[in-house]
Every structure is written in C-alpha cells, then in structure tokens.
C-alpha cells in the first residue's frame, strides 16, 4: 500500500509566467510607490481634517482643563445667583436678597482659593463664580429696587389701611 501512495501522480498545472498574464513588475513598482505617496498625502489630509474637527492643541488643553477639580462652592454660587433672579418673579422681593447675599458671601473664599493655586482648579469653575457674583448683584439690585418701590407706593396710598384691616381680620379668624 505504501508503494501505491508513492506512485500517485498529482496533476498540478504549471504556474504561468507573469508576463504572459500581463503582469509587469515595473508597473507594480510604480503603483506601490504611488500608493506610498498617496498614503503620506492621506495622512496629511487626515491631520488637516482632524484639526478641522477640533483635534488640535486647544482641544487637548480643554481636555486637560476638564480633568481639573472645580473650585469649592462654585456651583452653589452660580445656582444662588440664578435663583436670586428667578425668585424675584416667583416669590417677590423678599427671598431674592437673601439668596443674593449668601452667594456674595461665598464668593470671596472661592476666589481666594482659585487665586492661591490657579493651575490646580478648572477655569470653567472660576468663570462660574464670576457669573454667579454678577447674577447675585443684579438680583440684589432688582429686589432692593422693588422693596423700595413697594415702600414708596405703600406710604402714599390709603390702601395700606385696607390691607392692614384685611390681615387683622384674617388673623383674628384663625384664632390668634
């Protein structure tokens, strides 16, 4: 049986000559050099497109800035500044100055922490505390304006007596 295995003939067709199939080594070499130059052109185009997409030094600096911690109370200052404006519309001019004063009281310590080590904290949080301070000042001014306006209008009208009588009667009706 081993003799039969050795005597087997395999019909393998001969490998055709590359030039007979139209293959030219010179054109292949030219194509490969063109493709390498095309690859370098594509890489430079990719770098240009990456820069157009925002992948440049400023975006890497922004990513580094995002990794920095926020200044303590920066969110609270901004939130209180915004609420000092919003509460003028919702709650009148009584709650707004309280929120604005709290925001303004938190601002100096947060600013000092940033100025002691500006490279440690995020620049976005510093802009948040500055914006919160401005909003708190605007909210405080508007609410103080409304309080003064109410005091002036209340002192010149006789309706204050009607309001006082209504309040007293309601208070008495509640049993106090």
Residue of 153 and 101 predicted with greater confidence:
101
161 in a domain, yes or no? no
33 in a domain, yes or no? no
45 in a domain, yes or no? no
User: For the whole prediction, is pTM greater than 0.95?
Assistant: no
Residue 76, pLDDT score? 95
pLDDT > 70: percent of the chain: 61
Both tokens assigned to 88: 């003028």
Phi-psi region of 152 (alpha: psi -120 to 50; beta: other; left: phi over 0): alpha
Per the CB < 8 A criterion, the answer to whether 94 and 142 are in contact is no
Residue of 13 and 51 predicted with greater confidence:
13
> pLDDT tens-digit profile of 14-48?
666 666 655 555 554 555 455 444 555 555 555 55
Residue of 124 and 157 predicted with greater confidence:
124
Nearest one of 83, 143, 133, 144 to 108, comparing CA atoms: 133
111 in a domain, yes or no? yes
Residue 63, pLDDT score? 54
Residue 79, pLDDT score? 95
Residue 67, pLDDT score? 82
Alpha helices by DSSP H, the chain: 2-6, 25-52, 57-66, 74-91, 96-116, 123-156, 159-173
145 in a domain, yes or no? yes
- Whose tokens are 């009208």? That residue is 157
pLDDT exceeds cutoff 80 at 125: yes
- Residue numbers of the domain that contains 103: 70-151
105 in a domain, yes or no? yes
- What's the domain count of the chain? 1
Residue 85, pLDDT score? 93
């Amino acid at each position: 049986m081993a003799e039969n295995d050795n005597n087997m003939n395999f019909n393998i067709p001969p490998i055709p000559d590359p030039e007979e199939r139209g293959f030219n080594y010179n054109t292949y070499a030219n194509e490969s050099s063109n493709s390498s130059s095309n690859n370098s052109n594509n890489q430079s185009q990719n770098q240009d497109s990456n820069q157009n997409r925002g992948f440049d030094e400023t975006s890497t600096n922004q990513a580094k800035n995002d990794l920095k911690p926020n200044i303590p109370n920066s969110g609270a200052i901004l939130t209180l500044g915004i609420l000092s404006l919003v509460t003028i519309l919702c709650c009148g001019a009584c709650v707004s100055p309280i929120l604005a004063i709290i925001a303004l009281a938190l601002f100096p310590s947060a600013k000092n922490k940033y100025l002691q080590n500006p490279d440690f904290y995020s620049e976005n949080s510093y802009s948040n505390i500055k914006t919160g301070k401005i909003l708190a000042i605007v909210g405080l001014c508007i609410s103080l304006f409304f309080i003064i306006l109410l005091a002036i209008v209340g002192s010149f009208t006789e309706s204050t007596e009607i309001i006082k009588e209504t309040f007293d009667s309601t208070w008495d009706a509640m049993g106090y």
